Structure 1
Amino acid sequence: MSEQVVGKRQFGHKARLVLPAVLSFKIDEQAHAARAMWNLLHAWWLMMPGEKLHGCPAPELPGCPAH
Structure 2
Amino acid sequence: MRLLFVVDAGSAVCDVTEREERMAAEGYELSAEVSADLFQDYEARFEEGLRTVVAGIEATLAPTGSR
TM-score above 0.5, yes or no: no
TM-score, structure 2 length as denominator?
0.41
Which of the two has greater strand per residue? 2
Which of the two has greater helix per residue? 2
The structure with the largest alpha-carbon Rg is 1
